[in-house]
């Protein structure tokens, strides 16, 4: 007959095998759940990336539209040519809004602000002057121009963009080393 010790060892081994099988089944189920969650997260990430790319594309289209709309709006104040110049409307806008007088007092401050930009060419200066002027909507010396724009129903930003031309010309006059 089988000794009691052998029976205990066999029962222990059977229990160990059962525990190992149950553990393996439990681990498989748990790993399967986590794998499913990870797969779902990967799918959600892929969907989010697709949405982000679509949004990026839409933003690019909007930026392109903004640039084209700005060009159309600015065609009222700028004459195109080998260098942008102001139309009669643009000149009148600067004169009547008070920009010309403010510019005479502020031109050195504005030129200092413009000098922070990378101004390697005349074109850079022109575009950087427009960018700078677009950013100066809260520049205190221009407060009276805001009032003028409000009272006349005129776009304040358009006045500032027109003001980029005298700023460009003043800056170029003070920086003769810029040839191109």
Task: Summarize pLDDT for 106-143 with one digit per residue, the tens.
Answer: 999 999 999 998 888 998 899 999 999 999 999 999 99
Q: What is the pLDDT of residues 92-111, one digit of tens each?
A: 999 999 999 999 999 999 99
% of residues, the chain, pLDDT over 90 = 37
Nearest Cα neighbor of 133 from 152, 112, 157, 153 is 157
Nearest Cα neighbor of 125 from 74, 83, 76, 95 is 83
Q: Helices 88-97 and 99-115 meet at what angle, rounded to 10?
A: 100
Q: What is the mean pLDDT of the chain?
A: 86
C-beta of residue 131 within 8 angstroms of C-beta of residue 117: yes
Q: What angle do CA 99, 68, 98 make, to 5 degrees?
A: 5
Cα dihedral 180/65/117/106 (nearest 10): 100
C-alpha 160: how far from chain center: 21
Q: Each residue's pLDDT tens digit in the chain (180 positions)? A: 568 787 788 888 888 888 888 888 888 888 888 888 888 888 888 888 888 888 888 887 787 777 767 766 676 776 776 688 888 988 999 999 999 999 999 999 999 999 998 888 998 899 999 999 999 999 999 999 999 999 999 889 899 999 999 999 999 988 888 778
Q: Helices 99-115 and 122-135 meet at what angle, rounded to 10?
A: 110
List Cα–Cα distances, 77 to 65, 95, 118, 127, 165, in angstroms: 19, 13, 25, 15, 10
């Amino acid at each position: 007959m089988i000794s009691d010790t052998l029976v205990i060892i066999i029962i222990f081994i059977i229990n160990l095998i059962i525990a190992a099988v149950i553990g393996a089944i439990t681990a498989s189920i748990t790993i399967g759940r986590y794998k499913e969650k990870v797969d779902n997260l990967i799918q959600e990430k892929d969907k989010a990336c697709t949405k982000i790319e679509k949004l990026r594309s839409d933003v690019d289209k909007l930026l392109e539209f903004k640039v084209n709309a700005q060009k159309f709006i600015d065609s009222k104040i700028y004459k195109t040519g080998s260098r942008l110049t102001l139309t009669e409307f643009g000149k009148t806008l600067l004169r009547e809004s008070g920009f010309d007088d403010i510019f005479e007092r502020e031109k050195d401050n504005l030129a200092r602000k413009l000098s922070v930009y990378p101004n390697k060419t005349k074109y850079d200066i022109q575009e950087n002057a427009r960018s700078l002027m677009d950013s100066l909507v809260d520049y205190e010396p221009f407060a009276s121009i805001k009032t003028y724009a409000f009272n006349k129903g005129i776009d304040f930003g358009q006045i500032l963009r027109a003001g980029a031309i005298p700023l460009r010309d003043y800056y170029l006059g003070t920086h003769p080393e810029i040839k191109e």
